[in-house]
Amino acid sequence: MQLLRYSNQMPLEFTPELKLGGGGEGVIYRVRGERSQSAKVYHKPSAEQGDKLLAMFKHPPDDPMQDIGHASIAWPVDLLTSPETNEIVGFLMPFASDTFRAMDLFVPRSRLEKCPLFTYQYLHRTARNIAAAMDALHASGVVVGDVNESNMLVTREALATMVDTDSFQIRDSSGKLYRCGVGKPEFTPPELQGFNLREVNRTPEHDRFGLAALIFQLLMEGAHPFSGQYHGEGDPPSIESRIKEGEFPFGNASGSYSPPPNAPSFEILNPALRELFITCFQAGHVNPAKRPSASQWYVALQAAESDLKKCRKNSQHRYGAHLKRCPWCERAEKLGGRDYFPSRLALTTGAHLKKPALKQTPLPAVAASSGRRTSHSYVKRSGSFSARVNDLLDRWDRSMADTPARHVSFCAFAGALVLGAIRLASNRYLLSMHSWMKTIPAITAPGGLRFAVASLACGSFAALFAMYTWRRWN
């Protein structure tokens, strides 16, 4: 297939071996002789799509990373026309090589396989770079519309590139608006849930919701901000319904939801970031204008990243200075040894890809029973004396089960006797050896009665505790 470049009418050949991928809308190709560019060719190009691409080509937004040679926005750099009809059938764009989808990085298992050295600091930087790209688009009057985890590509250096730009909402020089007619429900704000997006004029406030949801997933190990355990009646509502109702379980929700048990604690996030999320998903649910802008996220993420510190046990663990302990060490222990930010030593041995072995965990041993208790749980000794002792203990157990008050009274009495015996011995035999014993008052002296009552209570408690401990561990 041969097409022409719009800018200089140079022919370009696209063959099957140059194909990179495709979908229902078109096919993505490499450009022969141009390593930094790729092409998108539509299956069924329309005149309106051609007009939109022409407006995009003539009015590109400022790219904040252009000075270092990185394209943070895969904006059309040239158009492709048909030699026969001269209509626009596609476009050329910057080629983002050696990248991952954002979803590959915030899903822990995928990150372990594809980029295991991507630390929590890299996730902060990724989120910040995405916010920078979106801020540049909003400053140019462009609205992304279809914010989602698949149209954000990330390099190993945490640089981000926004793709699928031909679906963005733009306005041409004459004022004509070209809408974004698509969107994933998980990133669509509550006020647009259930609407036909082809008939909606998008605003930056709509993008801000999707941006916050994406940042949340990047920093919370893939957990969606509106996912959680449902505590109401009937089947759990869908994510779209929860978004529409504003049920943010990580904030002050209604109580019908709680955060998912496998998600990190909301407290691991920098306090300023937590405040922005609550503002976006709660205050912004009522008033979309209150949702934090991309520039606000950029500033907060920059501060949060600078506040990260290294774990002493694993230098790949980075966490906020507001935390007393490393949450990733605790999370690895909770997950049975699976560390989603593995050490460099674990990477050299491949231990980060091994599934932790499932271990059995015992409970305290229970005594054998068949209706009436016939054998004691203590270790039996040989001989008739042992049998008599076991029989006595069995009787004591039955008596204790039938009349627990008798058991308690006996223990208290035994404790009092022991304490009384100790007191008598100390008064008779040890008084001359221990001068401190002289300070013990007689029961008739002032304070003596209180001392006796306290002694009785302590003795009773000691006896009960000793018997319980002996029965528990023998």
150 and 215 belong to one structural domain? yes
Contact 150, 189 (CB under 8 A): no
User: Looking at residue 45, which CATH number applies to its domain?
Assistant: 3.30.200.20
92 and 163 belong to one structural domain? no
Give the chain's domain count: 3
The b-or-e profile of 236-264 (16+ CB within 10 A means b, else e) is ebebbebbbbbbbbbbebeebbebeeebb
92 and 103 belong to one structural domain? no
- CB burial of residue 438 (10 Å; 0-12, 13-18, 19+): exposed
* pLDDT value for 159: 94
- Cα 444 to chain centroid distance, Å, stands at 67
425 and 407 belong to one structural domain? yes
Contact 264, 331 (CB under 8 A): yes
Q: Strand pairing partners for 88? A: 81
Looking at the chain, how many residues does it have?
474
Cα dist. 388→92, 380, 391, 393, 410 in Å? Answer: 95, 11, 5, 9, 21
Residue where one domain finishes, among candidates 274, 306, 338: 306
167 and 281 belong to one structural domain? yes
- Is 369 among the domain residues? no
Report the distance separating Cα 223 and Cα 386, nearest Å.
61
- Is 45 among the domain residues? yes
- Provide the phi-psi class of 303: left if phi over 0, else alpha when psi is between -120 and 50, else beta: alpha
167 and 243 belong to one structural domain? yes
Report the distance separating Cα 211 and Cα 130, nearest Å.
8
Residue 70, domain extent: 1-97
* pLDDT value for 374: 42
- Is 350 among the domain residues? no
- Is 169 among the domain residues? yes
30 and 132 belong to one structural domain? no
Greatest Cα-to-Cα distance within the chain, rounded to the nearest angstrom: 122
Report the distance separating Cα 151 and Cα 379, nearest Å.
67
Contact 281, 246 (CB under 8 A): yes
* pLDDT value for 417: 77
Q: Token match 């006996």: residue?
A: 410
131 and 215 belong to one structural domain? yes
- CB burial of residue 301 (10 Å; 0-12, 13-18, 19+): buried
Report the distance separating Cα 319 and Cα 324, nearest Å.
10
Residue where one domain finishes, among candidates 62, 97, 132: 97
- Is 320 among the domain residues? no
* pLDDT value for 460: 72
- Is 365 among the domain residues? no
92 and 120 belong to one structural domain? no
pLDDT by position in tens, the chain (length 474): 889 999 889 989 999 888 988 877 899 999 988 888 999 999 999 999 999 999 999 999 999 888 888 999 999 999 999 999 999 999 999 998 889 999 999 899 999 988 999 999 999 999 999 999 999 999 999 999 999 999 999 999 999 999 999 999 999 999 999 999 999 999 999 999 999 999 999 999 999 999 999 999 999 999 999 999 998 888 999 999 999 999 999 986 567 889 998 899 999 999 999 999 999 999 999 999 999 999 999 999 999 999 999 999 999 999 999 999 999 999 999 888 889 999 888 887 665 455 555 556 677 777 665 444 444 443 334 445 555 655 666 666 655 555 656 666 676 677 677 777 776 665 655 445 455 445 555 555 555 566 666 677 776 777 666 665 555 444
Residue where one domain finishes, among candidates 51, 78, 97: 97
- Is 363 among the domain residues? no
- Is 344 among the domain residues? no
131 and 185 belong to one structural domain? yes
65 and 203 belong to one structural domain? no
87 and 111 belong to one structural domain? no
**pLDDT tens-digit map of 41-85:** 999 999 999 999 999 999 999 998 888 889 999 999 999 999 999
User: Looking at residue 253, which CATH number applies to its domain?
Assistant: 1.10.510.10
Closest to 332 (Cα-Cα) out of 351, 360, 307: 351
